[in-house]
């Protein structure tokens, strides 16, 4: 019994260390790789601390591969997607959470079930439509697509936030002669700011990381997003692991920073669907 | 379970004025979402269903109704069954591993220890990273010549020669599974942790007072109470795993020798490399149907479990 009592904390810390290594080590290795010379990367024994230190790979990424264009495209597409998702999503979530509508949960369920469609099943037909409308290789085509992909989750999470605000607010707004739109804009949205940040972040990450539609719909560096850029990062004769690592660091570090800042909200937002009983 | 949450609180408490004017307004506010989902999700699904009965090809410019011809081809297509098998096995194995490892991680994270916040934060890293980056990361870690994994295993004496991971027919599939488990297990753990935290501490306390050992408290108290969360998280994970595309497409492209081809990558190639939109749609529709069956199976199972409990 006493033995067990002293082993337990040791096991706990061992487990915690394992989880930490699991989650962080691969990316830290990628980070280290991005600062190493090709010579060091191809050596029989890997070097963990970059020595000699080099910024050559970052230089390659921006001057040879013109990575800044992909970054710009991704920033534009993901930001526009996030804005539209929040606008459409909060209107819908407000209608479902605070207005009289029937069947409330039937509609919510329907919206969620749409998000279950496998994306490969819509990419072909959507490509034909985009081609007819001249939306291939445009920001608009991608944003319209990502908006629909993101809306079900955004609406669901925002619904959760709106639904928990006290009902007295609606009554007070009514007495003050404020209509539904005023209630949404002046009362509900300002009170749901943390929810908007979380959902916005989720929508942004989803659009930032999306690959298949971007691959199918865009064909030039003028509109291709980062994932497509990185996927195409190969040289003729060898794989430029250092350059790939540098590009990975450039796209992942801002994301990780955002996620770490908002981690509590993200976990809350994401678990809401699965856990609420 | 989830959408059944607060019907009473929601429906009963709507102020009267909104009740009168609210109905048309509510639908008006839903309109942008309805237009978006109808045109970008529902219409393409139906159009895909239609296309699956045609011989539409962007190469030959044909576009004629062919009945069930594509489906007949599909049933006799070894490439389809190969991809179907890979996808189903991948879904089962990766979901199972992710749930088990996630549960283990969640149990560790549930206990208080110094630095718990930092560990929890680090666990979001694999999830937040673009899947394309994960593919490249695993491509580098598991590189056959210079990969650090081979170096580690060699140093530990676990292997004698460098292993060709994703470049060989024998190991490529396993490498894909490992990459997916790496990316998703921590996230699964965070979901399950949230589930664990809803279990009243008094129950565990009570079982301890009754003399239950730690594993007994886990097996008889925590696990049954966590079961709904496990099932639902598992279902969402399985549905997601079934669509696997990015990881395979970037790491192996479905190769070597089709050993990692999945339904999504095969459909994508038929659609956008062969430009056969008819047959490609048949493939993706078949995939949609398989996924719907999985979802329905899970849904029924979850409902039965809930009912038995209620």
Instruction: Please state, for a pLDDT cut of 90, what percent of chain B lies above it.
Output: 52
Question: A199 near A89, Cβ under 8 Å?
Answer: yes
Mutate to test the interface with A, among B26, B42, B144, B279 (most CBs of A within 10 A): B26
Q: Is residue A202 part of a domain?
A: yes
CB contact under 8 A, B268 and A127: no
Q: Report the CATH number that the domain containing residue A84 is assigned in CATH.
A: 1.10.3720.10
**Res. B285 pLDDT band, cuts 50 70 90:** very high
Q: Is residue A33 part of a domain?
A: no
- Report helix, strand or coil for A36: strand
Q: Tokens 């009902």 appear where? A: A167
Q: What is the pLDDT of residues A83-115, one digit of tens each?
A: 999 999 999 999 999 888 888 889 988 998 888
- Provide the domain count of chain A: 1
Q: Is residue A29 part of a domain?
A: no
Q: How far is B60 from chain A (nearest CA, A)?
A: 15
User: How many whole angstroms separate alpha carbon A59 and alpha carbon A272?
Assistant: 43
Q: Tokens 């009754």 appear where? A: B210
Cis peptide before A103 (omega within 30 of 0): yes
User: How many whole angstroms separate alpha carbon B147 and alpha carbon B155?
Assistant: 13
**Res. B18 pLDDT band, cuts 50 70 90:** very low
Q: What is the pLDDT of residues B95-113, one digit of tens each?
A: 999 999 999 999 999 888 8
User: How many whole angstroms separate alpha carbon A239 and alpha carbon A247?
Assistant: 13
Q: Of A263, A274, A255, A14, which Cα lies nearest the Cα of B120?
A: A263
Q: Of A14, A17, A234, A258, which Cα lies nearest the Cα of B129?
A: A258
Q: Is residue A192 part of a domain?
A: yes
Residue in chain B nearest A126 by alpha carbon: B44
Instruction: Please state, for a pLDDT cut of 90, what percent of chain A lies above it.
Output: 55
Q: Is residue A130 part of a domain?
A: yes
Q: Is residue A160 part of a domain?
A: yes
Residue B6 pLDDT more than 70?
no
The 10 Å Cβ neighbour count of residue B305 is: 13
**Res. A270 pLDDT band, cuts 50 70 90:** low
pLDDT at B273: 92
Least confident of A221-230, B13-22, B283-292: B13-22
- List the structure tokens of A128: 């034909």
Instruction: Supply the range of the domain harboring residue A210.
Output: 65-232
Cis peptide before A73 (omega within 30 of 0): no
Out of A26, A171, A263, closest to residue B182 by CB: A26
pLDDT at B3: 39
User: How high is the ipTM of this complex?
Assistant: 0.89
Tell me how far CA of residue A131 lies from CA of A14, A124, A193, A207, in angstroms.
Answer: 55, 11, 38, 21
Residue A234 pLDDT more than 80?
no
- List the structure tokens of B287: 């995939």
The 10 Å Cβ neighbour count of residue A222 is: 12
CB contact under 8 A, B18 and A92: no
- On chain A, the residues whose CB falls within 8 A of the CB of B284 are 118, 120-121, 123-124
User: How many whole angstroms separate alpha carbon B291 and alpha carbon B98?
Assistant: 19
User: How many whole angstroms separate alpha carbon B11 and alpha carbon A94?
Assistant: 13
Q: What is the pLDDT of residues A175-215, one digit of tens each?
A: 888 888 889 998 899 988 888 988 899 899 999 999 999 99
Cis peptide before B256 (omega within 30 of 0): yes
Q: Average pLDDT in the A219-224 region?
A: 93
Q: Is residue A277 part of a domain?
A: no
Q: What is the pLDDT of residues B190-235, one digit of tens each?
A: 889 888 888 888 888 888 888 888 788 888 888 888 888 888 888 8
- List the structure tokens of B216: 């007994």
Q: Which DSSP helix (H) or strand (E) runs through A250? A: helix A241-261
Q: Is residue A176 part of a domain?
A: yes
């Amino acid at each position: 019994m006493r033995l067990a009592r002293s082993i337990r904390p040791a096991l706990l810390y061992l487990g915690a260390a394992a989880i930490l290594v699991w989650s962080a080590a691969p990316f830290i290795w990628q980070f280290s790789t991005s600062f190493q010379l090709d010579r060091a990367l191809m050596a029989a024994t890997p070097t963990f601390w970059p020595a000699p230190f080099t910024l050559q790979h970052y230089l390659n990424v921006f001057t040879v591969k013109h990575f800044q264009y992909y970054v710009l495209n991704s920033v534009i597409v993901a930001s526009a997607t996030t804005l539209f998702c929040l606008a459409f999503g909060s209107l819908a979530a407000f209608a479902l959470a605070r207005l009289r509508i029937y069947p409330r949960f039937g509609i919510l369920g329907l919206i969620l079930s749409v998000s279950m469609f496998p994306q490969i099943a819509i990419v072909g037909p959507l490509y034909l439509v985009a081609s007819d409308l001249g939306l291939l290789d445009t920001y608009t085509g991608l944003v319209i697509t990502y908006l629909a992909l993101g809306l079900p989750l955004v609406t669901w999470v925002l619904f959760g936030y709106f639904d928990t605000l006290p009902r007295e607010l609606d009554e007070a707004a009514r007495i003050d002669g404020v209509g539904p739109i005023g209630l949404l804009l002046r009362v509900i949205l300002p009170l749901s700011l943390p929810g908007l940040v979380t959902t916005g972040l989720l929508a942004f990450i989803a659009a930032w990381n999306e690959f298949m539609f971007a691959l199918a719909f865009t064909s030039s560096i003028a509109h291709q997003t980062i994932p497509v850029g990185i996927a195409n990062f190969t040289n003729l004769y060898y794989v430029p692991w250092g350059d790939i690592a540098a590009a990975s660091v450039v796209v992942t570090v801002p994301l990780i920073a955002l996620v770490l800042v908002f981690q509590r909200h993200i976990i809350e937002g994401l678990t809401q669907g699965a856990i609420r009983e | 379970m989830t959408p059944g949450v607060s019907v009473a609180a929601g429906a009963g408490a709507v102020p009267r004025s909104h009740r009168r004017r609210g109905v048309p307004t509510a639908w008006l506010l839903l309109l942008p979402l309805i237009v978006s989902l109808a045109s970008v999700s529902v219409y393409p699904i139906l159009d895909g269903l239609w296309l699956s009965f045609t011989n539409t090809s962007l190469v030959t410019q044909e576009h004629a109704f062919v009945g069930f011809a594509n489906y007949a081809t599909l049933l006799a297509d070894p490439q389809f069954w190969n991809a179907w098998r890979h996808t189903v096995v991948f879904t089962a194995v990766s979901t199972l591993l992710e749930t088990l490892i996630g549960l283990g991680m969640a149990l560790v994270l549930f206990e208080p220890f110094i630095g718990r916040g930092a560990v929890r934060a680090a666990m979001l890293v694999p999830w937040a990273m673009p899947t394309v980056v994960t593919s490249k990361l695993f491509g580098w870690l598991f590189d056959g010549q210079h990969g650090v994994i081979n170096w580690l295993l060699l140093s530990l004496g676990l292997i004698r020669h460098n292993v060709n991971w994703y470049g060989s027919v024998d190991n490529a599939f396993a490498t894909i599974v490992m990459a997916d488990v790496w990316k998703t297990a921590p996230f699964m753990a965070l979901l399950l942790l949230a589930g664990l935290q809803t279990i009243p501490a008094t129950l565990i306390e009570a079982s301890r007072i009754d003399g239950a050992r730690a594993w007994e408290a886990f097996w008889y108290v925590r696990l049954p109470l966590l079961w709904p969360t496990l099932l639902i998280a598992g279902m969402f994970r399985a549905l997601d795993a079934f669509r696997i595309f990015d990881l395979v497409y970037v790491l192996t492209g479905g190769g070597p020798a089709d050993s990692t081809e999945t339904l999504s990558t095969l459909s994508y190639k038929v659609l956008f490399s062969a430009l056969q939109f008819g047959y490609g749609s048949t493939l993706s529709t078949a995939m949609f149907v398989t996924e719907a069956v999985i979802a329905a199976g899970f849904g029924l199972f979850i409902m039965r479990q809930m009912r038995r409990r209620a």
